[in-house]
Chain A
Amino acid sequence: MKQCLERLYNGIIKENPTFVLMLGMCPTLAVTTSAINGLGMGLSTMVVLALSNLMISALRKIIPDKVRIPAYIVIIATFVTLVELLLHAYVPVLHESLGIYISLIVVNCIILGRAESYASKNKMMPSLFDGIGMGLGFTIALTIIGLVREFLGAGTVFGFSGPDLYGAPLPELLIGLINRWLDPNSLSESVRFWNRVLTDEIASFGPMSIMIMAPGAFFILAILTSVQNVVKEKGKKNGKDVSKIQSGCNSDCMNCKDSGCSKSLTETEEKESLQPVAAEPEDTVKVSGSKDAADKEAKEHCDNEAIEQCDNEAGEHCDNEEKEVNVEVKEPADTDGDNEAIATDADAEITVHIDNAGKKENTTKEEQTGKKDKAEGTDKKKHKKTLLEVTQEIDIVELEELLGEEEEGNADE
């Protein structure tokens, strides 16, 4: 029982899927044009999440490991279809306004993510409560976002507008109340001026309808993530564990292994498909700069944040990468020829830039020897630091490259 309550708390506050983990952003942005839509979407997702978690947990010993993802998808899709048909039958208005997004609960990262990271490893009751907790967290988040957007964009709350209540749109009403509460004589001239301007603005333009249009969703999310950034920064300063914040898809899709975005159908395929990312030689990346930005993003991600951030699975992934990086650094260090051989067409472009600066030979050689020394001089404990340095070097090379491009552009002009 204690564990179940802990799961609820975890889902609603500690690992809130929207405010902390940033998962399932597509429905979050799409349906939160009003609070009631957000509530409906959240509750539908919660039902699917709880039931699929329960089912997957019940079947966790029967489902073969290799085909677990398709099995999860079938289970989830079944519940989604059930919920959709029920909504269609009993709440047709909501079904109408949520539209296609009900069916798209199937591909919501949260559901597959929870199935994979919790329900497939735990007993039925905790899994059920994990689903309910996560679902409630999602519902609360969606309702709050919907409430804010609806209030700003349409001037209503849960569909109740000011005229129903007091005969004025809500923002105007609010300003009116504040004005009544403030004593105008005690205010300074400038405050009174701005107060008047604001009141006039709201009265003449009405609500900011952009907030319930598509761009408003992006702006709201931008504000939300910036708040997260601040919280994360503060938490880091106070020495708190902030690894969970924003560990969802938004930071780096290539690495979001445990939230279900980049799942292949079967385990073997997954490993195979990940290999090109992991095994790319460090040297190529370094010289060719943006040749395979995905790789580098992955590496940077691992180096800078993921060591603390990734949980088990992803962490292992990063470790593997680090080792491979080290090996690769040692190998091609002896000759320039080797290096040319690995480099691709993208490399040629950058080589030209460096050539322009007239120090191609020097830079590459210096860099390589430097790296070699560092690579050889490290043991496992110094590992992280060196890698960070190397990444910084990559950044410098990248900067040079960018500058080079700009210079070239100027020359063209």
Chain B
Amino acid sequence: MNNYIVQLIVIALGSSLISNVVLSQFLGLCPFLGVSKRVKTAAGMGGAVIFVITLASLVAGLLYEFVLEPLGITFLKTIVFILVIAALVQFVELFLKKYLKSLYKALGVFLPLITTNCAVLGVAINNVNLEYDLLTGVVNGFATSVGFAIAIIILAGIREKIEFNDIPKPFQGMPIVLVTAGLMAIAFCGFAGLI
């Protein structure tokens, strides 16, 4: 039991900081670069991603364990996962709109963006490939999305700071953001010594 908890913590640290989902696995780059102009929006996106990925890894894990494996159709996992995730995001959107207005206001705009976010599908497939059990999978999903939120909020903070800096003309706009992301990736490499 103790061992299991230690293993969970190691996995959580590993997927949130050491092999960060954006900065070292390059999943979910579109929202990472596209929705990081302001810290507030970035936080909203981060929140939405945490919410969706955790839920999606739970649902995908359940489906894999209780439907795909018993039926022996695990090779269909890509199709099943992407459809389930897309449907789930829509469902979550409708649910929030109806019952949790305040949460919908905060996250609603971002939900459609997450439908085809590769981070969500990536986590679900990773969980299966690495043969995580259900709880480990959910913890991994949560940690991964927290890693995403950390990265996007930090990037948004830096972008706000450098917005009016004197940047060489060719590097204005996207290039300087990418350089920033690269420097952040170097910084995150430092976490490799954590475990």
- Report which A residues bind B (CB closer than 8 A): 25-27, 29-30, 69-70, 73-74, 77-78, 80-81, 84-85, 99-100, 103-104, 106-109, 112, 210, 213-219, 221-223, 225-227, 229-230, 233, 246, 249-254, 256, 260-266, 269-270, 273-274, 276-277, 290-294, 297, 346, 399, 402
Contacts and interface: CB of A to CB of B under 8 A. Distances in A.
20 contacts: A29-B29, A30-B25, A30-B26, A70-B83, A73-B86, A100-B125, A106-B82, A106-B121, A107-B82, A107-B118, A109-B116, A214-B189, A215-B182, A215-B189, A229-B175, A251-B174, A262-B113, A263-B116, A269-B112, A273-B109
Contacts, number: 185
Interface in B158-195: 164, 169-176, 178-179, 181-183, 185-186, 189
Given A214-B185, A263-B115, A104 B176 contact: no
Given A30-B26, A214-B26, A265 B87 contact: yes
A31 B118 CA distance: 14
A74 B82 CA distance: 8
A251 B31 CA distance: 10
Given A70-B83, A263-B116, A294-B35, 20 more contacts: A25-B33, A26-B26, A29-B29, A30-B25, A73-B86, A74-B79, A81-B79, A100-B125, A106-B82, A107-B121, A214-B185, A215-B185, A218-B178, A219-B178, A253-B30, A253-B31, A253-B33, A264-B90, A265-B90, A269-B90
Contacts of B178: 218-219, 221-222, 225
Report the contact-size class of chain B (Cβ under 8 Å from the partner). 35 or more
B175 A223 contact: yes
Contacts of B129: 99-100
Given A215-B189, A249-B33, A265-B90, A230 B170 contact: yes
B37 A225 contact: no
Interface in B6-43: 23-31, 33-35, 37-38, 40-41
A191 B90 CA distance: 63
Contacts of B174: 222, 225, 229, 246, 250-251
A262 B108 contact: no
A109 B116 CA distance: 8
A112 B116 CA distance: 10
B102 to A, nearest CB: 12
Among A214, A230, A249, A294, max chain B CB count under 10 A is at A214
Interface in B131-169: 164, 169
A77 B82 contact: yes
B29 A25 contact: yes
A77 B75 contact: no
Contact of B171 (A226, A261, A262, A264): A226
B112 A273 contact: yes
B24 A227 contact: no
Contacts of A218: 178-179, 181-182, 185
Interface in B79-129: 79, 82-83, 86-87, 90, 93, 108-109, 111-113, 115-118, 121-122, 125-126, 129
B11 to A, nearest CB: 16
B75 A85 contact: yes
Contacts of A270: 112
A261 B30 contact: yes
B76 interface: yes
A260 B121 CA distance: 16
A293 B118 contact: no
Contact of A81 (B78, B113, B117): B78
A290 B38 contact: yes
Contacts of A291: 40
Contacts of A292: 41
B75 A104 contact: no
A198 B166 CA distance: 31
A233 B117 CA distance: 31
A353 to B, nearest CB: 15
A216 B183 CA distance: 9
Contacts of B115: 262-265
Nearest to B113: A262
Contact of A293 (B24, B40, B172, B185): B40
B186 A215 contact: yes
Contacts of A81: 75-76, 78-79
Contacts of B83: 70, 73-74, 77
A294 B113 contact: no
A254 B35 CA distance: 8
A109 to B, nearest CB: 7
